[in-house]
Amino acid sequence: MPTDDETQQRRLTGIGVSPGRASGPVVAMPDPVAEPLAGATLAPEADLDQAAERIATAALSAQTDLEQAAARASGAAREVLETTAMMAADPTLVAAAQQLVRETRLVPARAVWQAAAGVIAQLAALGGYMAERTRDVADVRDRVVAALTGQAPPGVPHSDHPFVLVAADLSPADTATLDPDRVVALVTRDGGTTSHTAILARALGIPAVVGVAGATTVPPGTLVLVDGAAGTVTLDPTAEQVAQAAALAARVRTFDGAGRTSDGHRVPLLANVGRPDGAQAAADAGAEGVGLFRTEFCFLDRTDAPTIPEQVAQYRQVLAAFSGTKVVVRTLDAGADKPLPFLMTAAEPNPALGVRGYRTSWRNPEVLEDQLTAIAQAAQAETADVWVMAPMIATVPETTAFVERCHAHGLATAGVMVEVPSAALSAGQILRHAAFASIGTNDLTQYAMAADRMLGELAPLSTAWQPAVLQLVAATCQGGVQNDRPVGVCGEAAADPALAVVLVGLGVATLSMTARALPDVAAVLGSVTLATCRELAALATGADSAEAAREAVRSRLPVLDELGL
């Protein structure tokens, strides 16, 4: 039998961001393709035509790999891969690189890199849609250079068997190509509880642990057991541990469509929806409505403002899936990590503290006006109960201005997102004017703790378990009580079953989350009374640290272990 010390030596720890347990062999993300040495030239005796032909062969290989990957994928991932494959098939890059080989004797890899730089510059100068294609050229460049130099191509590796993906971190392009049937768990060295890797993992229902020191040193092929709730990665687990994890994963939990505590206190469980085509899946999962419809995701790939009819069509798709139930529509949350070219006019030294969310309407009031017009038209065409809220509200005057604009468009239920401490502390005054508030715990945590939510080194700070953040949630709920206004949570904290119990205890009326989290949150919430929720909330807000708060609450919820959460 191994000793406790030996067991501890085989376990890495990080921050669990997506619950569940899964085991599999490690497959590592390949290192970024390095830029070939500048000025590297072929030997005097080299066959230039043969060297140039190697470029064409490598490009064809990259194209074939992309087409095969696209055939295995679906949805957004397939679109990304097909677009990149089309770029790989374009002869422009190959011809330019071959010319460099023949005229300047550059080695093929350097010729491709240099030719790609020229193509990227040309596309960037054209602006608009063509400028957006520079990312595709860079991806093709990396793939061709990898083929020429014998490196692994960029992106999520393909494997014939399920595996645990280990990486320093994942880019949005990487996450778009994840296949949850193959990638059974995610482990990253960087990232925090609200990084895009964490959000994607929860959306896909993949166990994930981020901020794991030493993650990238685990040898490929090593069998590991990932516990996304405990935040651990066990190397070389026992057969019994693997079997137990498989048994937990095989359990199927469903949501009956009515969130409640064990003593009958109703807590509607809603869904967060990004792209409209995800609305029906959320409805099918039993969501009692939509607590956050992220409208900006409809338009992230555009360089011009969408027309009102285009917006109406997008919004109606979501409203139609939730006929007769509540749908909370958030106006464009542009800026920071979600730049929209038709709203952002210049680079900012600190975008997270810049012109983002509702603040973009100061410069471009017509964009908000058009959006409210489109939301109103969509609401009139469907039967959903439409609520509207603005992101990044910080003051009472901002609140009253937004509410007035909504009312002018016939949108009666206008609210605000509470994402900055000033809004939480002013909730009593703000909710005299707004019909409701929805707490975005991702940004509220970032601003309360002065910790960039994408920075792995600060991950211990970037969690809504921080007592200070929970106290801000409590202050917001108190403002709601003072004005008889509901306060919900639509941030990632709502998808954590243990934290959901605390939020209800603090006075949160509704919880909105990725649809995959609904059964787990419902099961844990249904195991406790409202009084217990309040006791656990007091325990968490009075703790000395986020970890102490989390451990204190989880130790009082044995159902978490029973459910493998």
Give catalytic residues, as residue numbers: 196, 490
User: Which one, of 328, 251, 319, 324, lies nearest residue 291 by Cα?
Assistant: 328
Per DSSP, helices labelled H in 133-261 are 134-149, 172-176, 196-204, 239-250
Q: What is the rounded distance in angstroms from the CA atom of residue 533 to the CA atom of residue 522?
A: 14
Distance CA 353, CA 336 (A): 8
Report residue 432: phi and psi, to 5°: -70, -25
Altogether, the residues listed in the chain come to a count of: 565
Buried/exposed code over 235-268 (b: 16+ C-beta within 10 A; e: otherwise): eebeeeebebbeebbeeeeebeeebbbeeeeebb
Q: What is the DSSP letter of 219?
A: P
Q: If 0-12 CB within 10 Å is exposed, 13-18 middle and 19+ buried, where does residue 525 land?
A: buried
User: Three-class SS of residue 83?
Assistant: helix
Measuring CA to CA, which residue among 23, 71, 312 is closest to residue 179?
71
For 385, residues 6+ apart whose C-beta sits below 8 A from its C-beta are 289, 324, 325, 326, 327, 413
Whole-number Å distance between alpha carbons of 445 and 126: 40
Amino acid, res. 104: T
Could you give the CA distance from residue 93 to residue 119 in angstroms, rounded to a whole number?
Answer: 7
Measuring CA to CA, which residue among 438, 441, 437 is closest to residue 202?
Answer: 441
